[in-house]
């Protein structure tokens, strides 16, 4: 199975991607991970990407596409793959189609995990992390016994910058602006399937499998 997974930050996309990867025995390819890997291994493409990343700029499409292409040509992708974080734009989607056509492949389905913005805002802005041991709590769903104190090690809990309400709102705005055209693009191609994210991870997984037609 060759899949693309879409979902806003905090929609639980990563968790479902890991599950599908092990269920179908296909690699979960996160563009962020393979970019960092190329930079770390100082590949030619990694060096080029690093120049942009060091300046806080987005890595240009042609570099990202080349890195993704190299990854898709590896042996473990022969029976399929799951792409996470790519494509982000229609231009990238068209380039991916061309890459796959050259490899004699095509995308089977594009899974969109849908969670209302207010739910994501509640999930992410309520998250608290322990400064000492890194344990994760939530002010509503998993509150610590004592406010601001970690149950596990007694460390101080804090809210990460990217979990702050304003930051989450901005990330959601960017996501919708970027991804809405992509959702329409794949819908028009008849590839889009949608799963509505639930409170419980297992319930979301059921929705995902139903959407993919593999209950």
Residues annotated within the binding site are 10-15, 31, 36, 57-59, 85-88, 92, 127, 130, 133, 136-137, 150, 153, 160, 171, 199
Q: Angle between the 201-212 and 13-24 helix axes, to the nearest 10 degrees? A: 60
Q: Would you tell me how many other CB atoms lie within 10 Å of the CB of residue 1?
A: 16
User: H helices of 73-164, where?
Assistant: 90-102, 117-125
Binding residues for AMP: 31, 36, 57-59, 85-88, 92, 160, 171
In total, the chain counts a number of residues equal to: 215
Phi (first) and psi of residue 115, to 5 degrees: -135, 130
Q: DSSP E strands: which ranges in 12-159? A: 28-30, 81-84, 109-114, 127-130, 136-138, 157-158
Q: Which two tokens stand for residue 182?
A: 């992509």
DSSP state for residue 118 in the 8-state scheme: H
Helix (H, G, I), strand (E, B) or coil at 126: coil
- Rounded to whole angstroms, the Cα distance separating 39 from 114 reads 32
Classify burial at 81, counting beta carbons within 10 Å of its beta carbon; exposed 0-12, middle 13-18, buried 19 or more.
buried
Binding residues for Zn(2+): 130, 133, 150, 153
- Rounded to whole angstroms, the Cα distance separating 7 from 177 reads 13
Catalytic residue positions, numbered:
13, 88, 127, 160, 171
């Amino acid at each position: 199975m060759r899949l693309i997974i879409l979902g806003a930050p905090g929609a639980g996309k990563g968790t479902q991607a890991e599950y599908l990867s092990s269920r179908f025995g296909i690699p979960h390819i996160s563009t962020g991970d393979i970019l960092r890997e190329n930079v770390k291994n100082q590949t030619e493409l990694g060096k080029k990407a690093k120049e942009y990343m060091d300046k806080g700029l987005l890595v240009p499409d042609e570099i990202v596409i080349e890195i993704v292409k190299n990854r898709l040509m590896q042996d473990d992708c022969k029976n399929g793959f799951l792409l996470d974080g790519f494509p982000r734009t229609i231009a990238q989607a068209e380039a991916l189609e061309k890459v796959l056509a050259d490899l004699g492949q095509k995308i089977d389905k594009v899974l969109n995990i849908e969670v209302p913005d207010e739910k994501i805002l509640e999930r992410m802005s309520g998250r608290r992390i322990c400064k000492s041991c890194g344990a994760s709590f939530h002010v509503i769903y998993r509150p610590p016994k004592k406010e601001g104190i970690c149950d596990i090690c007694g460390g101080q809990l804090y809210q990460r910058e990217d979990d702050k309400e304003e930051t989450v709102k901005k990330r959601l705005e960017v996501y919708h602006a970027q991804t809405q055209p992509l959702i329409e693009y794949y819908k028009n191609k008849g590839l889009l399937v949608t799963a509505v994210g639930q409170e419980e991870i297992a319930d979301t997984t059921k929705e995902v499998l139903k959407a993919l037609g593999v209950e």
